[in-house]
Amino acid sequence: MSGRPQTAGIALAAAPPPLRILHVIWWGEVGGIALNLVDLALQCRARNHVMEVCVLTRSSPLIDGLADQDVRVREMHARSGLDLLAFGRLYRLLRRERYDVVQDHTGNLLAAMAILFGAHGARTVHQEHGAINIPRLEGRKRLFYKLFGARYDQFIAVSPKAAEEMIRAGAARDRTETIATPVDPIRFSPQQSRQEAKRTLGLPETALTVGTACRFAPEKDLDLFLQVARLIGSQRPETRFVMVGDGEEAERLHRVAGDQGLLPAIVFTGMRRDMPTVWRAFDVYLFTSRVEAFPRTLLESLACETPIVAAVPISGGAIDIVRDSPGIVSVSDRDPARLAAESVRLLDAPVVRDEAGRLGRQWVMEHYHVTKWLEALDDLYRRR
């Protein structure tokens, strides 16, 4: 009888080899793309993948902080979307380094050419993070898909509605897959008390707060947030309002808030990196975006057990989340008076608020857990 150990007919499958993956982004601003890369770095490290990030313009403290997860960050220092020298540097990087996967998050025409011609032997992936039909971006995005819709190995959409928009614009249907943006329910959790979170944001511990957090861009419809804040304040003058973020609309929104007499009830915090604290500081998250492909903010808020009053977007994958989650009260006609009334109802009912938050977190963990997201990406990366 052989002295070799027996496996009783069970074949031990070898673990798949780790991959070398490059993510190409436009810049390192705090937002869905950058925050997704933070989540991805933690998960890739656990799977022994080697992850790198190429920033076409300039990085940020958030992206630079990925070095703590052994992620190398490379900057191309592009001065514009037509900087031939910068995209030449990207092309040479791709030819020299020989990645297994190159994932493009930019939609830039020259970046796409550098990736498709330079990433020899790599699996090329383009991920669309936003909606295509935003007026100021629609022409450029449709041109991108017309030129490259059949060239990438795979396209990723963050929602079924976003996938259909991409396919209509020219992305190959058989290469387009929906992988929804996730949330990490460990990092985003109700562990921190609301009182402590409010102290951190400089708010009175006992004040009820209604807040928002996003890029200050036209499609976020933050004028609607200000209208609703004025109506809530007229009924509950002790309420505090918090606007977290920055962007092209920041200066104008400050001016409008002052003109409408909303200061100092409204606090503008600027950009913040401690988003779990931000969500816990809100008693209600008031969501007002008109166009939203897939808002990570909704998932983060729900994971922190903060209920949401939402104006149903006009387009984008967020429509389904707003309507489906038990932690969200939706207002389909986007009427400021109705949004204010629903917000006041939650502010006046702490038991209802707590239950909505609990159900919202449970729903997020079932449908949008970060581990499911990584499994789907891993499968896509290895597919041939």
pLDDT of residue 355: 98
Q: What residues does 178 pair with on adjacent strands?
A: 157
User: What is the pLDDT of the chain when averaged over all its residues?
Assistant: 91
CB 355 within 8 A of CB 294: no
Same domain, 229 and 129: no
Write the single-letter amino acid at 117: F
Question: What element of type H or E holds 125?
Answer: strand 123-128
Residues 142 and 203 in one domain: no
1 domain-assigned: no
pLDDT, residue 7, reads 46
Question: Is residue 255 included in any domain, yes or no?
Answer: yes
Pairing of the two strands 308-311 and 20-25: unpaired
Q: What distance lies between CA 321 and its chain's CA centroid? A: 14
Does residue 9 lie within any of the structural domains? no
353 and 302 within one domain = yes
pLDDT at 8: 46
Q: In this predicted model, what pLDDT tens digit does every residue of 295-315 receive, in sequence order?
A: 889 999 999 999 999 999 998
Between strands 101-104 and 176-178, the pairing is: unpaired
DSSP state of 18: P
Using only the alpha carbons of the chain, give its radius of gyration. 22
Distance CA 147, CA 356 (A): 45
**Residues 48, 26: one domain?**
yes
Q: Is residue 15 part of a domain?
A: no
Residue 7 lies in a domain: no
| Residue range of the domain that includes 37 | 20-182+369-382
Same domain, 58 and 163: yes
Does the predicted model carry a pTM greater than 0.85?
Answer: no
Residues 130 and 167 in one domain: yes
- 220 and 355 in a single domain? The answer is yes
Query: Any idea what the CATH number is for the domain that residue 318 is in?
Result: 3.40.50.2000
Residue 13 falls inside a structural domain = no
Regarding whether 33 and 92 lie in a shared domain, the answer is yes
Q: Do 144 and 65 sit in the same domain of this protein?
A: yes
Compute how many other C-beta atoms are within 10 angstroms of the C-beta atom of residue 319.
18
pLDDT score, position 129: 84
Query: Cα torsion at 84, 85, 89, 92 (round to 10°)?
Result: 70
Burial 155-168 (b: 16+ CB within 10 A, else e): bbbbbebbbbbbbe
Task: Tell me: do 213 and 109 sit in the same domain.
Answer: no
State whether 316 and 232 are in the same domain: yes
Instruction: Express each pLDDT in 151-174 by its tens digit.
Output: 999 999 988 888 998 999 999 999
Spell out the per-residue pLDDT of the chain, length 384, in tens.
344 444 444 454 566 788 999 999 998 776 778 888 988 887 777 778 899 999 999 988 889 999 988 999 999 999 999 999 999 999 999 999 999 999 999 999 999 999 999 998 999 999 998 777 777 677 888 999 999 999 999 999 988 888 998 999 999 999 999 998 889 999 999 999 999 999 999 999 999 999 999 999 999 999 999 999 999 999 999 999 999 999 999 999 999 999 999 999 999 999 898 999 999 999 999 999 998 877 889 999 999 999 999 999 998 888 989 999 999 999 999 999 999 999 999 999 999 999 999 999 999 999 999 888 888 999 999 886
Peptide linkage before 204 cis (omega within 30 of 0): no
Regarding whether 175 and 33 lie in a shared domain, the answer is: yes
Total tally of structural domains belonging to the chain:
2
